[in-house]
Amino acid sequence: MKEIASIAALANRFSALPGVGRKTALRYAYAVIDMTEDEVEAFCAALRDVKSSVRLCSVCGNFTDREVCELCASRKPEKICVVAYPKDVAAIEKTGAFDGVYHVLHGTLSPMDNRTPDDLNIRSLIGRLSGASEVIVATNPDVEGEATAVYLARLIKPLGVKVTRIAQGISMGSELEYADAVTISQALGRRTAI
């Protein structure tokens, strides 16, 4: 049996989400049939709203729905925690172990994927260093994350700002996004100079 065209089309859209295969996508599409029309409209509105309201904070590069994000607006920019992606900010904030500000690179250095420093949100980080006493590099403890940390240390230390790295309490090769709160807290607490 051919799938009904509209169901197949919707399943294709769901397949674009991270980790969603064809079977799961079809399951989601079937679930939409059972929604009320109001629910589908609300779903559409939520999709559009995210796309239209979410932008990057002009200071740190994290997702926000205003010009400057809540964290940049309310915290002292003394310690700057550098992460690869917005989801990493969420992971660290959940621990409550850090009260400084963040800087989101939107990626890591990767010669393999042709990602150079120019592709990352690094320039604006340099512009934020005047009032900062410490930059904590909290990229994932994998090859690309380490390379990015080393690059940032070489770039920033000559400017007289201390650069630290979260401790390798997070096991090598795993991803920050999935680490538990205690592990992230310890990694922040035992950060070491690069």
User: CB of 84 within 8 A of CB of 110?
Assistant: no
Contact between 31 and a second copy by CB under 8 A: the answer reads yes
The span of 57-65, 141-149, 165-173, 179-187 binding a second copy (CB under 8 A) equals 57-65
DSSP 103: E
> What amino acid occupies position 30?
Y
Exposure of 96 in the CB half-sphere (CA atoms within 13 A): 0
Contact between 180 and a second copy by CB under 8 A: the answer reads no
- What are the structure tokens assigned to 34, written together? 């059972």
User: CB of 189 within 8 A of CB of 181?
Assistant: no
Contact between 143 and a second copy by CB under 8 A: the answer reads no
The span of 47-55, 120-128, 137-145, 157-165 binding a second copy (CB under 8 A) equals 47-55
Contact between 27 and a second copy by CB under 8 A: the answer reads yes
The span of 3-11, 128-136, 146-154, 166-174 binding a second copy (CB under 8 A) equals 3-11
> Binder to a second copy among 21, 22, 30, 189 (CB under 8 A)?
30
Tell how many helices (H) and how many strands (E) occur in the chain.
Answer: 8, 7
Q: Tell me whether residue 94 or residue 154 sits nearer to a second copy (CB atom).
A: 94
**How many residues in the chain?**
194
> Binder to a second copy among 21, 50, 117, 181 (CB under 8 A)?
50
- What are the structure tokens assigned to 22, written together? 């064809």
Q: What's CA 135's distance to the chain center, in Å?
A: 17
Is 191 strand, coil or helix? coil
> Binder to a second copy among 59, 61, 64, 125 (CB under 8 A)?
64
Q: Which residues are at the interface with a second copy (CB under 8 A)?
A: 1-7, 9-10, 12-13, 16-20, 24, 26-33, 35, 37, 39-44, 46-51, 53-54, 63-65, 70-71, 86-87, 89-90, 93-94
